[in-house]
Amino acid sequence: MIKQWLPKAVSRVKGADSTALPAIGGAIPETMSYPWRRLAVGLAAVAVIGMLAATQGSVDIPPLTVFKMVVAKVPLVSVAESWPDSWDTILWRLRMPRIVLAGIVGGALALSGATYQALFRNPLAGPSLIGATAGAGLGATFVLVTGVPLYFKDTSLVPIAAFAGSIAAVMGAYTIARRAEGMSLITLILAGVAISSAAGALTSLLMIRSDPDLRPVLSWLLGGFGSAQWKHSVLVLPYIVPSLLVVLFYGRVLNVMQLDEDHARQLGVNVERTKLVLIIAATLSTAAAVSFTGPIGFVGLIAPHAVRLTWGNDYRSLVPMAAIVGAGFLILADLAARTVASPAELPVGVVTALCGAPFFLYLLRRREPITA
């Protein structure tokens, strides 16, 4: 198949036209119009999910009232306030910050998962593959259990330590895998697994030697949005939005990378630069996402495959749709986490694991080969 398709692909790249460069194993479209309608419908669905999530909790707020409360915040729109002030506090200080942050984090993790799956050509790759989440866990645990001040001038050091730990872990794996002739993706994966194991061991050691009350550490390591604030969303967006734009820009190149590195080079792709740029983008997205919420598993696995199984392998549309599906999925997971065992609250990571583990096993048991 490659021999039949390669001459056409070369001519398309040289011609710099708008035809598709599909993932190997999929159909070869002659043209592709960008799925703006599908993206708009997806964004609208996420907005509806968020609105419905805002109605549920220890105090139920009618959906129509939630809609009016949201519209009332739109400039130049006047809505008669027929709800108590306590509902304003519940909606805008408690529920909406965590719903918005859940959507942002879900989209970021799905973006990273789709990028890693394409880059490593591994359908089971995820944001934790090369140590990002394990490094974040080690950084946060170090601050939580070693007596380091939790705040510096009213700024929590836990997210900063988690972000730094995530970046440091991936940089360590990349440094190990980097060679004079380029970077081996296989070596990068193995280095990431080793660093993740070491970070996990150090995290466990810190927990064992710490104060007997490990609930703050366990709560962070299991992931959740209980402490979400509006400023958290503002702080993570400067990392996640550029990462999304970079990966979207490389959508066509990700399609070409599904062949192999030699064929990609023949098609004019700077493979080493592409790997570096995409790893940086996916790592920044993951590190920013988990810095305030803790590691949340399986979002980066479920969302890209749900899109892939529904709409195909073209990464120009798969990446943004995966981000949208990931956002909606994590909002629903957070809704389940805070309502299923009410008045208690489950860690969101537990909910996503209960959903993601069967899906992971399903992927492993599929008889036909899965292409990233």
pLDDT, tens digit (0-9, with 9 covering 90-100), for 316-348: 999 999 999 999 999 999 999 999 887 888 899
Cα of first residue to Cα of last residue in the chain, in angstroms, is 17
Question: pLDDT averaged over the chain?
Answer: 84
Cα Rg of the chain (Å, integer):
22
User: How many residues are there in the chain?
Assistant: 372
**What residue ranges in 170-278 does DSSP mark as E strands?**
178-179, 182-183
Query: Residue 22 pLDDT more than 50?
Result: no
The region of weakest confidence among 24-28, 201-205, 267-271 is 24-28
Query: Residue 3 pLDDT more than 80?
Result: no
pLDDT, tens digit (0-9, with 9 covering 90-100), for 278-319: 999 999 999 999 998 999 988 998 899 889 888 888 899 999
Rounded to two decimals, the pTM is 0.86
The pLDDT of residue 180: 53
The pLDDT of residue 31: 52
CB atoms within 10 A of CB 362: 10
Domains of the chain plus CATH, in order, are 21-127+228-365 (1.10.3470.10)
Query: Could you give phi then psi for residue 155, rounded to 5 degrees?
Result: -110, 125
Which of these, 61, 67, 48, 140, lies nearest to 94 by C-alpha position? 61
CB atoms within 10 A of CB 38: 14
Q: CA angle, 59 as apex, 219 and 45 as ends, to 5°?
A: 80
Is the preceding peptide bond at 343 cis, omega within 30 degrees of 0?
A: yes
The pLDDT of residue 337: 92
The pLDDT of residue 366: 67
Mean pLDDT, residues 78-105: 91
Token digits of residue 22: 């599909």
Our measurement of the distance from residue 323's CA atom to the centroid of its chain's CA atoms, rounded to an integer in Å, reads 7
Query: Helix, strand, or coil here: 225?
Result: coil
Contacts of 312 (CB under 8 A, 6+ apart): 26, 27, 318
List of long-range contacts for 230-234, beta carbons under 8 Å, 24+ apart: 230/97, 230/100, 232/97, 232/101, 232/159, 232/292, 233/97, 233/100, 233/101, 233/104
pLDDT, tens digit (0-9, with 9 covering 90-100), for 119-157: 988 877 888 888 999 999 999 999 888 877 778 877 888
